Amino acid sequence: MTEQSVQHRVSAAVERARTAQRAIEHYDQGQVDDLVTAIAYRATRPEVAAELARLAAEQSGLGNAEDKTRKILRKTTGTLADLKGAPSVGVINVDEAKGVTTIAKPMGVIACILPSTNPGATPINNMMITLKGRNAVILAPHPKGEATCAESVRLARIELAKLGAPEDLVQMVSLAAENKEAGKAIASELMTQCDYSLVTAGPANVDLAYRSGTPSHGVGVGNAPVIIDETADVDAAVEKIVMSKTFDHATSCSSENALVIDASVYDQVMAALQDHGGYVVPADQKPQLQDAMWPGGNLNRNVVAQPASRIAEVAELPAAEAHQSRFLIVEESGIGPDHPFSGEKLSVVLTVYKTDDFDQALDTVESILAYMGEGHSAGIHSEVDERVEALAARARVSTVLVNQPHAYNNGGSFDNGLDFTLSMGAGTWGDNDTCENLTYKHFLNYTYLARPIPSTEPTEDELFGDFLVRHG
């Protein structure tokens, strides 16, 4: 594929998107909300969600269709609940005291680079949060998720046409090419030609976006460490953790990757984890599992988002219990490159650490994040609010979850106040531009209309008086 052919393919899609976007510049809030609601309604029909999930699981070979169906339904309804009634068109705020009126305007054409791990829910979410601002969107899925994305786009275009809106508000560009470099060239060209990009994919794609010269939102690397202290409700905590860790075979980068457990409840937690289907890998077989999961130092794709039975098979673990388990448990004490179980695994393998007290637990979390996952998230199961606040103050992450299942709630939930999203910013810690859950607000331009008000210029005493009293 020549550079000229890549440019032509992308420019044709971008020009169609620009034409479609200009056609809805005049839409009012009600018309915009109808576009978003129509896509959400179609995606949440049970048979549609199930079919998208089936396509996603079959083509990607990651996770399972049942959990992907639940993810599509939950994320889509949650996103619509967040967007419903939210102002995104024209005047969205008037501050009489400051004389400032805020006017929301579209960015234009948004490029969305999609991951292989969540090819069902992510395209729908991306379409909703970008269209909410009267933007057009061009989706570029990982080749393993192309069939799912194509079907999502097809259904969305049908709904747009029913409302008399241009179908080209939503398009897909294929990244499937003769080789990986050709696919990268298409993605890079798309991000270069569009007005903004959202990259919910790996670090290489985020870096590609930042080098495109176009403004971009990227996401960080997950590796969530979660503390369980001696005050935690162990049974409730373990139930949530296992539910989260095994959901969709741990495709989510928000899945708990390490538990940091107080020594006084360590045995109780380990017993509960095994009662919920966990298998503790014997210490003498840990190197064997490590070699299977990181051959040559790189994470083995054959264990990513696979059932525990498959991982046990790849690692040739001898015990029948390993092949019948829901997830594998590895006891660890080291952190860093020489201890890969301390990093992101994207698999149903849970690393556990024993700590003597809460201070050591904080140190352990900090070390894990320093190795991998800074900026993303951490969690704690505790009944001591001072400890919750201590973790939040110490951890270099965008989100700290308290007594919650991580994969379910990190990207928004009906029982916490976070925005529903499939894309979580990790701040400058994770080389991103925001620490927030990405939603429609991040795909709007704003004009601030400033009218004159009575002067608020302060006196010298108001500015420096208290300082001089304290410091002379």
Considering the candidates 149, 194, 253, 435, report the single residue annotated as catalytic. 253
Q: How far apart are CA 390 and CA 402, in angstroms?
A: 12
Do 137 and 112 form a contact (C-beta atoms < 8 A)?
yes
Q: How far apart are CA 231 and CA 227, in angstroms?
A: 11
Q: Which of 213, 218, 176, 170 is nearest to 194 (CA)?
A: 213
The helix (H) or strand (E) run that includes residue 170 is strand 170-172
Contacts by 310-315, CB closer than 8 A, 24 or more apart: 311/347, 311/348, 311/349, 312/279, 315/285, 315/288, 315/289, 315/291
Q: Which of 86, 94, 101, 74 is nearest to 133 (CA)?
A: 86
Length of the chain: 472
Q: Per the structure block, which two tokens stand in for 422?
A: 């499939």
Q: Which of 124, 123, 70, 60 is nearest to 346 (CA)?
A: 60
Neighbours of 217 (CB within 10 A): 22
Q: How far apart are CA 19 and CA 14, in angstroms?
A: 9
Q: Are strands 224-228 and 256-262 parallel, antiparallel or unpaired?
A: parallel
Partners of residue 260 on adjacent β-strands = 227, 353
Ordered alpha helix ranges (H), 25-169: 29-43, 46-60, 65-83, 121-131, 146-162
Residues 6+ apart with CB under 8 A from 405: 240, 241, 243, 244
Q: Per the structure block, which two tokens stand in for 124?
A: 């729908």
> Catalytic: 253?
yes
Do 138 and 197 form a contact (C-beta atoms < 8 A)?
no
Q: How far apart are CA 362 and CA 369, in angstroms?
A: 11
Burial 351-363 (b: 16+ CB within 10 A, else e): bbbbbeebeebbe
Q: How far apart are CA 189 and CA 191, in angstroms?
A: 5
Partners of residue 199 on adjacent β-strands = 113, 218
User: How far from 4 is each of 7, 186, 188, CA to CA, in Å?
Assistant: 5, 11, 13
The set of catalytic residues is: 253
